[in-house]
Amino acid sequence: QYRTDRKAWNDRRGRVRRSPEGLEPMQLVMCDVHHVDVLVQRTDGTTATPKMIAWMDVATHRLRVDLVLCEPGTGIRNADLIDSFIDMTADPGWGMPGGLYVDNGSEFRFADFLADAMQLRGVRVHAQGEGGPVKRSTPYEGSSKGLLEGTFRTLQQACWAPLQGFIGGDRMNSKAATLGQPQAPFPGGFEAFAAVVRNG
């Protein structure tokens, strides 16, 4: 199973319960990209689901998000994540983290260049183990980002499910009020949806 179905093998492993006790605010920040299951309309009339770049302070569980509506046939880029990281560090309520816990995807390659900048903060990242202030999650092991994954589930069920344009996790299923017709997008386009997300 380890060789043929790594995710199933990881799902059956025993888990260690970790606590934020002893962590200072911004000592360790998690980042992940989540696909938002709400259809919005682009300016050219096509529809797409936005991507959410989420940052979570592990010590306080505060969440900061940026939304990106990718062009057709594209996905989140290094540049999108870099812009979001810079916005976080410039935000007076956030700033420079002491360490980053990121996915192992290629879009997070930029994080390797941030180690020196984070070390200037002078915070020892106890939760990182060896290898410096940038830590990458293990492939196929969603539980390593359990804090963020649980938050995404809560956002989907409590905040997005009631909205027009919500398609759930199944993009091929066009049920809802349109009785088999394509799902109507969120009214007002991407900027209107981003405003709803920003305002909670």
Per-residue pLDDT of 134-172, as tens digits, reads 888 776 555 556 678 888 888 888 888 999 999 886 555
Give me the pLDDT at residue 129, please: 46
Which has the higher per-residue pLDDT, 71 or 199?
Answer: 71
Mean pLDDT calculated for residue range 107-121: 75
pTM: 0.77
Give me the pLDDT at residue 126, please: 45
CA distance 111 to 116: 11
CA distance 184 to 164: 7
Range 99-135 burial, b when 16+ CB lie within 10 A, else e: bbbbbeeebbeebeebeeebeebebebebbeeeebbb
